[in-house]
């Protein structure tokens, strides 16, 4: 049972480059989330999705885009990478909102130079 998987594990980007962080879950969860964790800090919500075709902004959405074409996948797109986007990115999923536990992927460490 894979749970939530994320690729890549680590990536170095140059300023201005773009990339997509992949997230897949095999638990048939409706809700999926993207968080970022800056050093010494808790996690902050970037975007979330309540189902295929439905996405919405979280606390810190600027510089990111998402799509949700299937229940399983929730990719996060970084356009024009900036040093401020250096962070660890976590994808999470839950069956339902608020009541249910969110299960996290292993994270993607991104360094923008």
Closest separation in Å from C-beta 16 to another protein: 27
Closest separation in Å from C-beta 108 to another protein: 10
- Residues in touch with another protein (CB under 8 A): 31, 33, 35, 40-45, 48, 50, 56, 58-59, 88, 90, 92, 94, 96-107, 109
Compare residues 64 and 90 and give the one whose CB is closer to another protein. Answer: 90
What does 21-60 look like in DSSP terms, one character per residue? EEEEE-S--SEEEEEEE-TTS-EEEEEEEEETTEEEE-S-
Give the sign of the dihedral formed by CA 53, CA 56, CA 60, CA 65. positive
Closest separation in Å from C-beta 32 to another protein: 10
Compare residues 59 and 79 and give the one whose CB is closer to another protein. Answer: 59
Compare residues 58 and 63 and give the one whose CB is closer to another protein. Answer: 58
Between the alpha carbon of residue 16 and those of residues 32, 38, 88, the distances in Å are 27, 20, 18
Closest separation in Å from C-beta 25 to another protein: 14
Tokens of 51: 């189902």
Give yes or no for a contact between 46 and 40, defined as CB atoms under 8 angstroms apart.
no
Compare residues 36 and 78 and give the one whose CB is closer to another protein. Answer: 36
């Amino acid at each position: 049972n894979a749970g939530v998987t994320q690729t890549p594990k680590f990536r170095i980007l140059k300023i201005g480059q773009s990339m997509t962080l992949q997230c897949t879950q095999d638990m048939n969860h409706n809700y999926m989330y993207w968080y970022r964790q800056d050093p010494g800090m808790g996690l902050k919500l970037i975007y979330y999705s309540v189902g295929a075709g439905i996405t919405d902004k979280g606390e810190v959405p600027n510089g990111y885009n998402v799509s949700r074409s299937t229940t399983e996948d929730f990719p996060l797109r970084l356009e024009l990478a900036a040093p401020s986007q250096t962070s660890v990115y976590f994808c999470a999923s839950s069956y339902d909102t608020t009541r249910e536990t969110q299960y996290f992927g292993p994270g993607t460490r991104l360094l923008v130079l």
